[in-house]
Amino acid sequence: MLRLLLSNYSRSHCLLHQLPKFQIGSGERLKNLNKLFGKLKSNVTTNSTHTAKPALRLKTLWCGAGALTIGLASRNLLQNNFRQVKCEGNRLTGIFQSTLQPDDGKFDWKRFWSYLRPYLWELLAAIAAALVVAYINIRIPSLLGDIINVLARYANTYVKDPLSNSFVKDVGKPCSNLLSLYFMQSGFTFLYIYLLSRIGEQMAANLRQDLFKQIIIQDIEFFDKNRTGELVNRLTADVQDFKSSVKQFISQGLRSAAQLLGGSISLFLISPHMATIALAAVPAVVMCMTYLGRKLRYLSKSAQAQSELATSVCEEALSNVRTVRSNACEYREMELFEYETNEAARLAQELGYGIAIFQGLTNFFLNGLVLSTLFLGGHLMSTESMSPGALMAFLVAAQGVQRSLAQGSILLGTMIRGMTAGSRIFEYLQIEPKVELLRGYEIPPERLYGEIRFENVYFAYPTRPDHIVLKDFSLILRPGETVALVGASGSGKSTIAALVERFYEPTAGNIKLDGYKLADISPHWLRSNALGFIEQQPILFATTILENIRYGRPTADESEIYEVAKQSQSHEFVSALPDGYNTNVGERGTQLSGGQRQRIAIARALLKNPKILILDEATSALDATSEAEVQRALDNAVLNRTTLVIAHRLSTIRNADLIVVLDHGRIVESGKHDELMAKRGLYYDLVRQQEKHEHNITNKGNTADGSHNTNAQNRSQG
């Protein structure tokens, strides 16, 4: 689908207005990624220990917290080993380690700030409102105390006439004060929650848009390496997690921080001596908690990566449901999904255990604080350095501090989740494509002839740099000529087409279009103006036929669309459909036959009126009748265009001006059809095989319907 998108105009055209905003540190990021991929390549065993190791270290730390931790450690170790065994022999073999990436990057605060900065005033207003609410919360107990004091005064008094009684007067003032505080509290609560939700939603939308932009402009190499499910997960679940954590952290964090500050000041005002002793232990506790927090962040990242893997299993199975069904693999997919989700749940539980232990330790520290206050305060009371009332007030204030600290430890869990999700989003935002879509020349229409030259091209796919696919490949495609590439499977035919499309860059040598190096030409211009690409199995979008054709050139009007539909032999069958051009083709075009999809794809390519056409085995997946129809469409399409045909069938080869026979990325023979037939080389063998194959198809056709429609006859009818 992405290749289609790149080779067409419309969606990439929209990118003109959405160029990446962030270009910082891409080199370093790529280096890190390369390192990471290098590591991941090593072997499954290393990876298994790699994921298990930090978890083990964390567990060693937890040992102090009791036997529960030891049980957990051994259980997890067993499960990690089990996972390695279980992954062998299923379609995820070798994949899970690539998603469980080590915690390499720190949270990018600078980037986070760049998303927050546009909403600075709203944020400041939200902070101010939250602080007012926190202040009101501190004030409310003392006003409640005033009311209780009045009530206590009248507790034993018999009131004859409640209205004439001074009680109403006495209680009226604190009550009206409290009421106005309640009003203010609800007003400011509304304000800060509303503002924070606005900021959160806008930030999330910006993040999603930037992430999508950044992903869709990546080189094809990026998509070879990353699974669609993973990418979609980052765009959805991670952005969602990040947004809710930021909102929660700011709103609750502000309240707790304000209360913590207010409480601590009260503690110092009541007894500076005891407050100093109580708070002396805080730095050690903070250090310990920070260490634990870092470990929890690693666990959180693994849990999120695993949940991403589970999503991609489900996404892949659902989007390829026909393949699943035809291989009767529903139950296998269920098992696989169950296994992956259980694994995600296990890791999330492990994180939950970590957070629970963290909070348990926090509570222990806080309770210890109360106990030592009592102990110390009692001692001070015994020496008459402190009154019982002051001790009581200190304890109440200490409890307020305790509550906000306990809340803080819960918030730490939220922060860890949010930072993990954020760093996973920022990780992709930083990757810059090697080939920029809009950078480069645009050849003026009057100088565009459509000559393609390969000059001593060497190429290896970035994912397999050691496997050289093209070796010293040179070829000229003259304007208006049709060149057919033939050769055994894996000989490099599709690779040549991909290089013309600039899906990849040659490792060495040059490819030129009308004398201009392809590397210097804008890939966006090239694909939207000069090249038309028709794949073996074209993919349509889940929209109408009209819009699918228009995808080739969004500015085209309906008459132009009907014209190319006629040229591609689509008009007749489309007009016969109940909704005509407004027929929805279903997901990936499944509601049309293979041949119909192919003809719509040809129409789409013709709408660009490209000088160069690339046909990647455009008819090889079709039956004889569809092939004849598509062939007629192609015969129209190639007229006056430079055409590169990746051929498996003799029909296309016979019409070609030049046939090039490839073997392991090298040209072994080339010439016209008859010349090659005469030479009896590799090409001859290929032709023999194909003639035999076509003969079999013809015989089958005869037996099935009694007709004598050979491929050749079909073509001649066309």
| 491 binds ligand ATP per the rule CB under 6 A | yes
The answer to the question of residue 506 lying near ligand ATP (CB under 6 A) is no
Phi, psi of 354 (to 5 degrees): -60, -45
Residues near 14 by beta carbon (within 8 Å), at least 6 away in sequence = none
| Total site size for ligand ATP, rule CB under 6 A | 13
Task: Check if the beta carbon of residue 369 is closer than 8 Å to that of residue 218.
Answer: no
Q: How far is the CB of 690 from ligand ATP (least distance, A)?
A: 13
Q: Which stretch binds ligand ATP (CB under 6 A): 115-123, 300-308, 491-499, 676-684?
A: 491-499
Q: Is the CB of residue 642 less than 8 Å from the CB of residue 452? A: yes
Beta bridge partners of 644: 483, 614
Minimum Å distance from CB 498 to ligand ATP?
Answer: 7
| Closest CB to ligand ATP among residues 412, 498 | 498
The residue (of 301 and 502) whose beta carbon lies closer to ligand ATP is 502
The smaller minimum CB distance to ligand ATP, of residues 360 and 490, is found at: 490
Residue 617 near residue 648, CB atoms below 8 Å:
yes
Residue from 276, 463, 625, 702 that binds ligand ATP (CB under 6 A)? Answer: 463
Residue closer to ligand ATP, measured from CB, 362 or 495: 495
Residues in the chain: 718
From 246, 469, 500, 656, residue interacting with ligand ATP (rule: CB under 6 A): 469
Question: 3-class DSSP state for residue 408?
Answer: helix
Among 135, 223, 337, 461, the residue binding ligand ATP under the rule CB under 6 A is 461
Q: Closer CB to ligand ATP, residue 471 or residue 715?
A: 471
Closest CA to 297 of 414, 408, 406, 417: 417
Q: CB 333 → ligand ATP: shortest distance, Å?
A: 25
Residue environment code for 351-360, b if the CB has 16+ CB neighbours within 10 A, otherwise e? bebbbebbee
The distance of Cα 152 from the centroid of its chain, to the nearest Å, equals 63
Residue placing its CB nearer to ligand ATP in the complex, 421 or 621:
621
Locate all alpha helices (DSSP H) within 63-165, ordered by sequence: 67-87, 96-99, 109-116, 120-153
Q: At what angle do helices 239-270 and 272-280 cross, to 10 degrees?
A: 140
User: Minimum distance between the CB of residue 221 and ligand ATP, rounded to whole angstroms?
Assistant: 8
| Two tokens, residue 227 | 């699974």
Query: Least separation, in Å, of the C-beta of 457 and ligand ATP?
Result: 13
Q: Does residue number 489 form part of the binding site for ligand ATP (CB under 6 A)?
A: yes
Asked if residue 548 lies in contact with residue 540, where contact means CB atoms within 8 angstroms, the answer is yes
**Of the residues 495, 522, 596, 631, which one makes contact with ligand ATP according to CB under 6 A:** 495
Q: Which is nearer to ligand ATP, 221 or 455 (CB)?
A: 221
Q: Which is nearer to ligand ATP, 579 or 691 (CB)?
A: 691
Is residue 458 involved in binding ligand ATP (CB under 6 A)?
A: no
Between 446 and 466, CB nearer to ligand ATP? 466
Q: 293 has which bridge partners?
A: none
Q: What separation in angstroms does the CA of 318 have from each of 315, 460, 587?
A: 5, 32, 12
Q: Shortest distance, CB of residue 627 to ligand ATP, whole angstroms?
A: 17
Q: Which stretch binds ligand ATP (CB under 6 A): 335-343, 456-464, 670-678, 694-702?
A: 456-464
Residue appearing with tokens 């009530």: 151
Q: How many CA atoms lie within 13 A of 339 on its CB side?
A: 20
Beta bridge partners of 533: 614
Which region among 131-139, 245-253, 484-492, 605-613 touches ligand ATP (by CB under 6 A)? 484-492
Q: How far is the CB of 642 from ligand ATP (least distance, A)?
A: 19
CB closer to ligand ATP, 373 vs 491: 491
Pattern 200-239, ligand ATP, x by CB under 6 A: ------------------------x---------------
Decide if residue 611 touches ligand ATP (CB under 6 A): no
Quote the strand ranges of 516-672, DSSP E.
516-517, 531-534, 612-616, 642-646, 658-663, 666-671
Q: Which member of 172, 490, 515, 586 binds ligand ATP (CB under 6 A)? A: 490
> For residues 213 and 20, is the Cβ–Cβ distance under 8 A?
yes
Candidates 464, 679, 693, 700: give the one binding ligand ATP (CB under 6 A): 464
CB of 634 closer than 8 Å to CB of 602: yes
Contacting range for ligand ATP; rule: CB under 6 A; set: 310-318, 335-343, 493-501, 623-631? 493-501
Give the pairing of strands 452-460 and 468-477: antiparallel
Cβ-based nearer residue to ligand ATP, 343 or 501: 501
> What is the SS3 assignment for 646?
strand
Minimum distance, C-beta of residue 218 to ligand ATP, in the bound complex (Å): 14
Which of 53, 464 has the CB closer to ligand ATP? 464
Tokens of 100: 């469980």
* Amino acid (1-letter code) at residue 370: V
End-to-end CA distance of the chain: 31
Binder among 266, 494, 642, 643 for ligand ATP (CB under 6 A): 494
Residues 6+ apart with CB under 8 A from 685: none
- Closer to ligand ATP by Cβ: residue 275 or 518: 518
**Taking CB under 6 A as the rule, does residue 492 contact ligand ATP?**
yes
Residues binding ligand ATP (CB under 6 A): 224, 461, 463-464, 469, 487, 489-495
